[in-house]
Amino acid sequence: MAYPLLSKLFYASRETYEQTYQARYSSESALRFNISIGEFPAFLLVTPEIAAYIADIMEENYKVHQLQAALPESALAQYIRSCLVDEIRLTNDIEGVVSTRQDIYAVIENLPTSDAARVRVEGLVQNYLLMAEKNSNLQFRTCEDIRRLYDRLILEAVIAEDPKDAPDGTYFRKNTVSIQDGRQNIIHRGLYPEEKIIDAMNQALDIFNDSSLPVLLRIPVFHYLFGYIHPFYNGNGRMNRFISSYALFNNLGPLIGLRLSVSIKKNTDAYYKAFKVTNNPLNRGDLTPFVLSFLEILRSSAQKLEESLSGKKIRLQQYQQVCLSLLQGEASESSPDFRILDALVQASLFSHEGMDISSLAAAAKMSQANLRGRLKSLESTGAVLVDKRHRTHQYSANLKLMDEIMQGHGPTGSE
């Protein structure tokens, strides 16, 4: 059942509008917060739909963890890294900042790239990599914590875009800022002056760190409040998505945590509409519409993630059988050639990149000298592809050929 917006009830019936607001705000199912949206105190009505979304997300997350456990460690590592790269690329893309997978991989591997590309992604790369470390323990408890993260995450990129957008207050901005839509219409003004920003951010951080509240309520509430406060001149979206991703990463796991920007990019209109609806003064501080929309996006993301992993798991098993058939007389999972093909299949299936000699030798558990000789033989079968455009050659599995073999049209399955 759709959640009736207060802003729509206002135009339908003023009496119904007032009664509905009072009933929602005073409900036993309402969470009331010590922060105002415009003139009204913020609150969240924990509806049955919200409870159902949370249950669905947790169920999908359980399935994802089961699939993760069934995957080879290398395949999972490849997939996490691929998700990390896409998350960085798309959190920039949402803000109109162009960065490619190649730029991001170059910074991760400390390979040559342009200074401009490095500035756009280096802070994001370093902090998303920090997020992925098992013992990372970033704190988001004070305004100083938020500013410290901003300086590490995107300050250099923001200054490169426009030096005037650098924070000029104690922690945040001293002056006003407006958010415009694609037609340059003002759709929101961030809080002002900085004292008000600081006070509101402290209240938002208290909610974010309130362990008595379910984490899947705290994250979307804080996500909305950060966007509403809009503490910086530029970079608010990238900061906000990083903090939410970090919280999801630590509470639900890396794969769901590293898909937030991907999911928002696919649901951009719904995402920004949720902010606009919730900001409306006629909505009187009701955060429920935003939380519903955020959780719906997250549930869809979790479902697609589970479907993707399930499909990749099945395809991996099929490709491994094809690898054995290609090797024919040496058809053993412990054979060196199978280990090479298996490592390349995992990289090709679970990430966007190939493998260089060093990483492939480590994955196949053999010396580079032995590996080079075997690669020549495997290349001749067509099962291994080599990209010589990079400083170090990148090897990958020829999944197209393997698909043809499975369909009965390849060299080992010809009719």
Cross-strand pairs, 178: 189
Q: What is the pLDDT of residues 353-377, one digit of tens each?
A: 788 899 999 999 999 999 998 998 8
Is 317 among the domain residues? no
Q: In this prediction, what percent of the chain has a pLDDT beyond 90?
A: 73
Q: What is the pLDDT of residues 173-229, one digit of tens each?
A: 999 998 876 566 777 889 999 999 999 999 999 999 999 999 999 999 999 999 999
Predicted TM-score (pTM) of the model is 0.92
- 349: Cα separation from own chain's centroid: 19
- Same domain? For 128 and 168 the reply is yes
- Same domain? For 354 and 225 the reply is no
- Same domain? For 182 and 70 the reply is yes
Is 19 among the domain residues? no
The number of distinct structural domains making up the chain is 2
- How many Å apart are CA 317 and CA 323, to the nearest integer? 10
- Same domain? For 342 and 293 the reply is no
CA distances, 113 to each of 110, 125, 126, 373, 386 (Å): 9, 14, 16, 31, 21
Is 321 among the domain residues? no
Task: Identify the CA nearest to 62 among candidates 306, 280, 266, 234.
Answer: 306
Check residue 267 and give its pLDDT.
Answer: 94
Q: What is the mean pLDDT of residues 124-138?
A: 82
- How many Å apart are CA 30 and CA 39, to the nearest integer? 18
- Same domain? For 159 and 294 the reply is yes
- Same domain? For 277 and 343 the reply is no
Is 17 among the domain residues? no
- How many Å apart are CA 85 and CA 100, to the nearest integer? 9
Query: In this model, does residue 112 exceed pLDDT 80?
Result: no
What CATH code is carried by the domain that includes residue 219? Answer: 1.10.3290.10
Query: In this model, does residue 330 exceed pLDDT 80?
Result: no
Is 69 among the domain residues? yes
Check residue 414 and give its pLDDT.
Answer: 46
- Same domain? For 292 and 395 the reply is no
CB 363 within 8 A of CB 74: yes
Is 137 among the domain residues? yes
Q: State which residues form the domain around 167.
A: 27-306
Which two structure tokens, joined as six digits, stand for 35? 């922060």
- Same domain? For 284 and 381 the reply is no
Alpha helices in 71-161 (DSSP H): 73-94, 101-108, 115-132, 143-153, 155-161
Q: What is the mean pLDDT of residues 113-137?
A: 84
Query: In this model, does residue 415 exceed pLDDT 90?
Result: no
> What's the 3-state SS for 348-378?
HHHCCCCECHHHHHHHHCCCHHHHHHHHHHH
| Mean pLDDT estimate for the chain | 91
Q: What is the mean pLDDT of residues 294-299?
A: 97
- Same domain? For 300 and 367 the reply is no
- Same domain? For 132 and 245 the reply is yes
Q: Which 3 state secondary structure label does DSSP give 184? A: coil
Q: Residue 61: what residue type?
A: N
Task: Identify the CA nearest to 189 among candidates 165, 28, 197, 96.
Answer: 197
Please say which residue of 306, 340, 373 terminates a domain: 306
- Same domain? For 68 and 183 the reply is yes
